[in-house]
Chain A
Amino acid sequence: MAISQLNRRNFLLSAVATTGALTLGISLTGCSQDSVRPGKNSETQTFNAFISIASDDTVIIQVPCSEMGQGVFTALPMILAEELDADWEKVTAETASADKAYHYRVGWDDQATGGSYAIAGWYAALRQIGAAAREMLTEAAAEKWGVPVAECKTNKAVVSHPASGRSLGYGALVGDASKRPIPENPILKSVDDFQIIGQPKPRKDTAAKVDGSAIFGIDVKLPDMLIATVKTSPTFGGSVKDYNADAALAMPGVRMVVPVPAGVVVIADSFWQAHKAIDALNIIFDPGPHAELSSDKISETLQMGLDEKGLVAHEKGKVHDALKDTNNEILTAVYDTPYLAHACMEPMTCTADVRDDFCHILAPTQFPTNVQRVGAEITGLPLEKVKVDVTFLGGGFGRRFEMDFIEQAILASKAASRPIKLIWSREEDMAHDFYRPISRIRYRAAFDGKTGQALALECRLASPSILARVEKLPMDKVDRVMVEGLSDQPYGFSNARVDFIRKDLGVPVGWWRSVGNSQNGFIRESFIDELAHMRSEDPYQFRRRLLVAEKRHLGVLDLVAEKAGWNDPLAKGHYRGIAVVMSFRSYVAEVAEISVQEDGSVKIHKITCAVDCGTVVNPGIVEAQVISAVIYGLTAAVDGEITIQNGAVEQSNFHDYPALKFGELPDIEVHILKSAEPPTGIGEPGLPPAAPAVANAIFAATGKRIRSLPFSKHGLTIV
């Protein structure tokens, strides 16, 4: 992509020199962006929407994605700094405020963090932006010295002219450079010349996260700010009938009671006062249309769905003939996966300051430009009067894509006419998530018993739809995210078909780390394992055989088999399981090694992972993300389950929706395949293979096939 396509407005032509508080003059939407910038002592000049350069050559890079643990605060600046030839030790990162300048240039016209898209979506564009700025800086120096540009070099934020021994730091050149025309086709580095990309650079946010100074949503402070908390109808679809505002207002520190959709916000001087007052309100809810909903009823609905007519999500050839032919080897299995909560470590929080003529929102959000739109909608202000700053996120996992907590904070501030920081209790967070959809799948497969040819694979999926809410998906359209991992399954069956049977159940569902792949990966890879067993073939070799045309699948499969010693003898009582899933265009294979104790409990000794995510920007972060995803996936697989009774969620906190801790965790080893392909996702793809690798190992050990999650349902405990 040429820089001219990168939208010329992003390159601010007048460098704004400021002293004291750093001001980034990127006012594309007219909103001022100065109030939350950290104070800087050195004089800093803005180069463009992404780059400011201080007089000491420090480069400040605006990060267009939200840092929620996945490392964008480090990896995205690495890409830009590489082409800019910045001095990495003197690169500072800041999370960009909501602005059109920070929309992806390809694939997604928004400022949003999700779908494992940050690196994949920004890689090419940030290289272009960095390279263009480097050329402009070089030209500025060459002009000053009256020498040909070609004779100048850049290194560590310095332009030099070796022939004459002259050099100037970027800080001295930024003013002139930013006035120069933007190069149409800046020359990118050859990958062999990379000095930053590909290195395990330490994270730029580590220092602030070890001394308590990192600002998360819950830590925001504004002058005159009050603190609020909320309680909404425990029953989905319920509403508030009545409450005793006077009882709450009589309590110390309580300032205001504000009705919000399906609930009530209490505003007080401190969280604890608000929290106590919520109980005193004695809210009476109308339970609404789902008062009778229960997990049992939901199971029945999904079970019936499996025999209903659905929408064809994928069809290749005709599966029915092979499935009916009694000469074939046929296998049928039904799988279940539960609702899951995100349980981000930081409960939902948002600070809003709504005034007559502006609105300022400070939020740990994955979707800043949508926060801006929601702010404009609720306040009636034009978009450019709504400023959105993004704090660090105490976990995201898809939950912080949503707007519910943002809306509540805006409504509360609007009512109070002063800044309000809204903090949810953990109980509210657990009861009002947008859960991973529950699902039930029936798989059928047919093999030619003699030749072993994979003749047919049929998959029927009954589940709610995420896109029903997010995109108002009509009933006659397949929810493409619900069938990911199924309709694009890679195994070489001659005939294949996937049906989607949509069941809207009243429980809100949304984006949960790796989305459809999380449950579909488990189900598909478990069923493939069943087929290998039916065929009496080694599960690894069986996959190889059916993936013969899938080079990148084979790449990670072979690597993981080698690193886990798939063909080596195991310690006595140890067993292995294997799984491979492509998601977000990255390929991950995992081998689990387990043993079963005398009391029947399972010890997961080790998970070996092989990853192909294309070009690697930061291998240290890739490793951390794969481990993170494995642990997140295992936590869910072991005992993660949200159940419904009387239309409400039964779980309330970490005692009944637990997380794996030290002592329950296997060793996790990550091997990265060397690849020159464009970079693809890494925040999520490590997750889908983890549960099936372990479940397949449990089958190898016990002969017990786990067809529903979590493991705890089957009386399995993990030690």
Chain B
Amino acid sequence: MISLTINDKSYEVDVDPETPLLWVIRDHIGFTGTKFGCGVGECGACTVHLDGAPVRSCSLQVSDAQKGAITTIEGLSPDASHPVQKAWVAEDVPQCGYCQSGMIMATAALLAENPHPTDAEIDDSITNICRCGTYPRIRKAIHLAAGNKGEI
């Protein structure tokens, strides 16, 4: 049995300890907001927080996630009121939307550590892929959520 804390709730799951956290979250716990894009840590669609830090859950064994507090997009806020989610709505960011949970989780973690990132810092830290090319609106939304004045 593996014990996990996800979105402030405890879960016990009977899985192979090598199972990537992503699939435990999706198939066993049932939170499907966290997405599968590549399975090899390249795209960021599966980004969740482990003790506040962004992790690519497709590349983290569930046994290594036992000690920490896991947050998924469903737990970022109870009602989409996290400043990053609000900024995403204000800029009408998503297209297909598939990458957006990962983008939002990566951004929320960035802003928690660096409340006013510059464009260069965004370039360096948000390495997620969006095949729809929503990057320009994401950049605007990050600055909006950060309360940055104008482009930096």
Contacts and interface: CB of A to CB of B under 8 A. Distances in A.
Contacts of A629: 133
Contact of A205 (B33, B37, B97): B97
Most chain B CB inside 10 Å of its own CB: which residue of A70, A71, A394, A668:
A394
Interface in B80-128: 80, 85, 88-89, 92-101, 104, 122-124, 126-128
A206 B19 contact: no
B2 interface: no
A662 B80 contact: no
A205 B98 contact: no
Given A663-B123, A668-B136, A654 B129 contact: yes
Interface in B28-54: 28, 30-40, 42-43, 45
Given A345-B132, A624-B137, A212 B73 contact: yes
Interface stretch (A145-153, A213-221, A442-450, A516-524): A213-221
A36 to B, nearest CB: 15
Interface residues of B, number: 59
Interface size class of A (residues with CB under 8 A): 35 or more
B127 A210 contact: no
Interface string A220-258: 010000010000000000000000000000001000000
A343 interface: yes
Contacts of B28: 270
Contact of B129 (A205, A212, A219, A659): A659
A272 B19 contact: yes
Nearest to B87: A210
B67 interface: no
Contacts, number: 175
A93 interface: no
A169 to B, nearest CB: 28
Contact of B37 (A347, A392, A663): A347
Contacts of A215: 32
A662 B140 CA distance: 12
Given A270-B27, A346-B35, A654-B43, A620 B92 contact: yes
B88 A393 contact: no
Contacts of A216: 35, 97-98
Given A212-B73, A631-B135, A205 B43 contact: no
Contact of B43 (A345, A627, A663): A345
Contacts of B23: 270-272
A624 B77 CA distance: 27
B117 to A, nearest CB: 11
Interface string A457-495: 000000000000000000000000000000000000000
A343 B131 contact: yes
Interface in A617-641: 620, 624, 627-632, 635
A433 to B, nearest CB: 13
A212 B123 contact: no
A70 B27 contact: no
Contacts of B137: 624
Contacts of B73: 211-212
Contacts of A69: 94-97, 132
21 contacts: A69-B95, A70-B95, A205-B94, A206-B89, A209-B94, A210-B100, A211-B33, A211-B80, A212-B34, A270-B15, A272-B19, A345-B43, A346-B96, A393-B96, A395-B98, A628-B95, A631-B133, A654-B43, A659-B43, A660-B133, A662-B135
